[in-house]
Chain A
Amino acid sequence: MKFSRRNLIKSFAALGSVGFSTSILAQDKPNPNNLPPNLPEWTPDLGAGVDENPYGSPSEFESNVIRRNVPWLTASPQSSVNFTPLQDLEGIVTPNGLCFERHHGGVAEINPTDYRLMINGLVDREMIFSLDDLKRFPQVNKFYFLECAANGGMEWKGAQLNGCQYTFGMVHNVQYTGVKLSDLLRETGLKPKAKWVLAEGSDTSGMTRSIPIEKILDDCLIAWAMNGEALRPEQGYPARLVVPGWEGNMWVKWIRRLEFGDKPYMTREETSKYTDLLTDGKARMFTWVMEAKSVVTSPSPEKPILHKGIQQLRGLAWSGKGKIKRVDVSLDGGKNWRTAQLHAPIMSKSLVRFTLPFEWSGEELLIQSRAIDETGYVQPYIQELQKIRGKNSIYHNNSIATWLVSKSGRVDNVRLG
C-alpha cells in the first residue's frame, strides 16, 4: 500500500479515538512534497470511480464542517438542539445536512406511504391528504430562513459561548417546495368563525402551536422538499409546516394535523416556553416574528485572521419582516460604520450574504455588524433590549454581537458596556 495522507487519515479514523481530530490531520499538516515543482501524490493514481459514493458527501478534508451541540444545555439529546456551522458556509443556501436540528422527542421515522395530513375543526369538509395528494396541488418554490427563537439565548446576560456557530447557528436557509395552505383550504373550505389553527406534529412530542388564520392564509406552506430533495428526516420528513419569518418552533415538523378553531389553544410550547419573561414577572406571549439580525461569520471565533493585509469580511443578515435593506459593519466597536456589499439574490425572509473588504495591519479590532430591514428597523444593541425586557427573556435576542480581534489574529466573543 502506498503511503499517503489519505490512507493515514483513514487508518487513524479506523483506530477510533486517537486523541486528535481529523481536522488537525486534514488541514494543519501540509506536505511540501505536493507543492510545485513536485508531482502531488494524487496525480499519478486513478481516483474513485462513479458510483463509489452514489449519494455523495463532502471532501474528507471538510470533516470539521458539521453541526455541533452544547451537551450541558439540555437533559437529553432527543430533546435538544444543535447548531449550523455558519462560519464555514458561503452564499445563502444552507446544505441540508448542516441545517441545525431542534427536536423535542427525537427524529420521527415515517414511511411516506403511511403519511397523512388531517384537516379538521371549523372547515366545511374535514379531510385527509396523502403525500401524493399534496404533491398534486399547485406547487411553490421559495427560499426562507428558519430561526429558533432561542438563537443567541445564552447571550442575554453576557458573552457566554465563544463561537459564531454556538451564538448564531440556530438558523438555516433553504429553498422549500410545497403547497400553499391557502390552496389546501380551497379543498376543505373554511368556516367564517375560524380564527386560529392548531398545527400538530406526529413525533413523540406531539409538537403543537397555535397560528392566527391571517398568517396561515398569507404565506404558510406545507413543504415536502428542501434544496431540491425530499426533506431530511430531522427536518420533518416527509412534510413540515413553513411559517415564513416567524420563530422556528412554529414550523411543525412531521406535521399530521391542522385544526381550525375560534380561539388559540394555549399549548405547552406557547405558554410555558417561547414566552418572554420581563423584569416585573410578566411575560410576553405570541411574539412570533423574528426581527432583523446579522452576524459576521468571518472573521469570527472559529475563523481567526491568519494573514496581515487584505481581508474579506463576510456575514449573513435576515429579517422576518421582509427584505434586508442594508448592513453596516464597524471595526471599532460601533463608533464608526461603513456599509457592506449585499449580494443578490436579496429575498424577503431569506438570509442575505454581505461582504466587506478591509486591510488589517495587526491592530486590535472590535467587529460588529448591524442589519437594517425594509421597514427601517435597525438591529439593536443588547443594552437596548435589556433596558426594555430585562435579562430573563431567553428568546428573541437579535442584538449586535462583538468579535474582538487580538493582535495575534485570534477572535473572541466579547461584550462591550
Chain B
Amino acid sequence: MYVWVKIVSALMLTSLILTFSSEASDRAFNLGSIATSQQVKGWDIDVRPDGVGAPIGSGTAFDGEEVFAEQCASCHGDFGEGVDRWPELVGGDGTLNTHDPLKTTGSYWPYASTIFDYIYRAMPFGASQSLSYDETYQIVAYLLFMNDIIDDDFVLSDQNIGLIKMPNQDGFLLPDPRPDVSNINGNPCMENCNVPVKIIGKAKDIDVTPED
C-alpha cells in the first residue's frame, strides 16, 4: 500500500509539474511563484455573508459570556456597553433615524459573518488572530444574544452563520446615487448670488480645537 501511495503521489506530482509548466507559458512575465493550497489556507481567513469561508467550529452565547469577559470586556464592557471611547456593541435599536444614532453590531451591522470575520482577524485589539475558531463563534453568539437576535443556547457554527438575519440587513442602499446635488453643469452663479452670508457658528466658540 505504501508503494501505491508513493506511485500515486509521484504521478500526481508529475501531472502538477506538467500543468504548471504548460500554464507558465500563458504567463506574461514568468514572475512570482505558484501558491500551494496550504499557503492559501493559512492566509485566506475571510468570511462572506453567505457563510463562504467560515471555518469549522461552533459556540453558544452561554459559553461566550466568559470568553467575552476575559477577552473583550476591558474595552467593550461586560455587556458590550463600551468603556471610555471604545465602541458600544449592544443596543441602539430605533436610533438610526434620530439625531443621535447608535450604530452597534445589533442596530447597524448587516451581516453576522462580518462580526465573525472582524473579531477573528482583528480582535482582541493588539492580539489579533489569537482566538480559536470556537472562541470566536462563542463571542459572536454572545453579541447576537445580547442584541436579542438569538437565544443563549443557540449553537452558532460554520453551518448557520450565513443564515442569521440581522435586524438592519435591509438598511443599506445601493448603488451610490451621487452626484446628488443639482449643480453639475459647470456653470455656478458668479455675481450677486443669492446665498446666506450670516455667521451662524464659529469653531472657536465650540472650543474643541487642540492647542498647539
Given contacts A166-B209, A366-B197, A417-B196, are A378 and B188 in contact (CB under 8 A)?
yes
Task: Tell whether, in the assembled complex, residue B39 and residue A118 are in contact, meaning their CB atoms are under 8 Å apart.
Answer: yes
> Which of A35-43, A307-315, A330-338 has 4 or more CB atoms under 8 Å from chain B?
A330-338
Interface residues of A in 47-71 (CB under 8 A from B): 64, 68-71
Task: Tell whether, in the assembled complex, residue B128 and residue A206 are in contact, meaning their CB atoms are under 8 Å apart.
Answer: yes
Task: Tell whether, in the assembled complex, residue A204 and residue B23 are in contact, meaning their CB atoms are under 8 Å apart.
Answer: no
> Which of A140-148, A268-276, A350-358 has 4 or more CB atoms under 8 Å from chain B?
A268-276
Say whether A183 faces chain B, with CB atoms less than 8 Å apart. yes
Task: Tell whether, in the assembled complex, residue B208 and residue A282 are in contact, meaning their CB atoms are under 8 Å apart.
Answer: no
Say whether A261 faces chain B, with CB atoms less than 8 Å apart. yes
Cβ contacts under 8 Å, A70 to chain B? 208-210
Given contacts A377-B184, A388-B181, A392-B101, are A287 and B31 in contact (CB under 8 A)?
no
Cβ contacts under 8 Å, A283 to chain B? 96, 108, 171-173
Interchain CA distance A263-B113 in the complex, whole Å: 14
Say whether A217 faces chain B, with CB atoms less than 8 Å apart. no
**Number of B residues whose C-beta is below 8 Å from A?**
83
Say whether A304 faces chain B, with CB atoms less than 8 Å apart. no
Contact with A284, one of B35, B43, B101, B173 (Cβ below 8 angstroms): B173
Cβ contacts under 8 Å, B50 to chain A? 263
Say whether B1 faces chain A, with CB atoms less than 8 Å apart. no
Cβ contacts under 8 Å, B204 to chain A? 162, 412-413
Cβ contacts under 8 Å, B34 to chain A? 125-128
Task: Tell whether, in the assembled complex, residue A21 and residue B212 are in contact, meaning their CB atoms are under 8 Å apart.
Answer: yes
Cβ contacts under 8 Å, A384 to chain B? 181-183
Say whether A195 faces chain B, with CB atoms less than 8 Å apart. no
Interchain CA distance A100-B62 in the complex, whole Å: 43
Task: Tell whether, in the assembled complex, residue B209 and residue A416 are in contact, meaning their CB atoms are under 8 Å apart.
Answer: no
Task: Tell whether, in the assembled complex, residue B188 and residue A204 are in contact, meaning their CB atoms are under 8 Å apart.
Answer: no
Produce 1/0 per residue, A83-122, CB < 8 A to B: 0000000000000000000001100000000000011100
B192 to A, closest residue via Cβ: A335
Nearest CB in chain B: distance from A94 CB, A: 20
Say whether B154 faces chain A, with CB atoms less than 8 Å apart. no
Task: Tell whether, in the assembled complex, residue B184 and residue A376 are in contact, meaning their CB atoms are under 8 Å apart.
Answer: yes
Interchain CA distance A334-B189 in the complex, whole Å: 9
Q: A79, A119, A415 — which one has the most chain B CB atoms within 10 A of its CB?
A: A415
Interchain CA distance A119-B128 in the complex, whole Å: 22
Task: Tell whether, in the assembled complex, residue A118 and residue B175 are in contact, meaning their CB atoms are under 8 Å apart.
Answer: no
Task: Tell whether, in the assembled complex, residue A266 and residue B191 are in contact, meaning their CB atoms are under 8 Å apart.
Answer: no
Task: Tell whether, in the assembled complex, residue B201 and residue A275 are in contact, meaning their CB atoms are under 8 Å apart.
Answer: no
Say whether B29 faces chain A, with CB atoms less than 8 Å apart. yes
> Which of B6-14, B64-72, B118-126 has 4 or more CB atoms under 8 Å from chain A?
B118-126
Given contacts A128-B33, A380-B183, are A72 and B43 in contact (CB under 8 A)?
no
Contact with A126, one of B40, B108, B200 (Cβ below 8 angstroms): B40
Q: B31, B39, B184, B196 — which one has the most chain A CB atoms within 10 A of its CB?
A: B31
Interface residues of A in 395-417 (CB under 8 A from B): 396, 404, 412-417
Cβ contacts under 8 Å, B201 to chain A? 158-159, 414-415, 417
B94 to A, closest residue via Cβ: A281
Say whether A163 faces chain B, with CB atoms less than 8 Å apart. yes
Cβ contacts under 8 Å, A336 to chain B? 190-193
Nearest CB in chain A: distance from B184 CB, A: 5
Contact with A328, one of B31, B129, B188, B197 (Cβ below 8 angstroms): B188
Cβ contacts under 8 Å, A363 to chain B? none
Interchain CA distance A338-B15 in the complex, whole Å: 71
> Which of A129-137, A168-176, A228-236 has 4 or more CB atoms under 8 Å from chain B?
A129-137
Say whether A250 faces chain B, with CB atoms less than 8 Å apart. no
Q: Which 10 A-B pairs have the closest CB atoms?
A: A281-B97, A376-B186, A206-B121, A281-B96, A333-B197, A186-B28, A162-B203, A75-B85, A417-B200, A268-B118
Known contacts A126-B34, A416-B199, then 6 further A-B pairs from the complex at CB < 8 Å, ordered by chain A residue: A120-B44, A159-B206, A205-B122, A285-B174, A286-B174, A332-B197
